Amino acid sequence: MLDSVFAFASLALLILCMGAAVRSSVLLNRFPFLKTVRKHHVLCAVLCCSCAFAHGILAGRAPAAISGKIAAMLLLLLIVLALPLRSSANRYWRRIHRTLSVIVIVLVSVHILHAVLT
């Protein structure tokens, strides 16, 4: 039961992190909380990773454990790389960050499908 709470929390936080990519002023005016999410999406990512690891520990040896571990490790790698590189003047960092974020979203989707279908 508690692992499901952590799973839902990590999924909700991942969706909030995805809201940080919104650039449209129409959407930002319509949904003002997205401005706050954009400011604090690093905190959302760290909380998402923490909830994901807690979910993985509590879920035990479920059939979808391997796909979840891969997704959580890539999310951790994304966070670890983001901390020193976000303030650098590396012009490729934004592209790398977005690419890794899309891969994390795909892996989480595969993990959810794997868990539901087995």
Q: Where are the alpha helices (DSSP H) in the chain?
A: 2-18, 25-30, 33-39, 41-59, 65-85, 93-117
Give me the pLDDT at residue 93, please: 80
Nearest to 52 by CA among 102, 118, 112, 113: 112
User: Strand, coil or helix: what is 1?
Assistant: coil
Element housing 63 (H / E): none
Task: Please tell me the distance from the alpha carbon of residue 22 to that of residue 8, in angstroms, as a whole number.
Answer: 22
Q: What pTM was estimated for this model as a whole? A: 0.84
Place of tokens 């969706």: 15
pLDDT at residue 107 above 90?
A: yes
Share of the chain above pLDDT 90, in %: 31
- Tokens 């279908």 found at: 117
Total of domains in the chain: 1
Domain that holds residue 79: 2-117
Q: What is the CA radius of gyration of the chain?
A: 15
pLDDT, average across residues 69-93: 82
* Residues 80-88, mean pLDDT to the nearest whole number: 75
Give the distance, in angstroms, between the CA of residue 41 and the centroid of all CA atoms in the same chain: 10
Judge whether 98 and 42 are in contact, CB under 8 Å. no
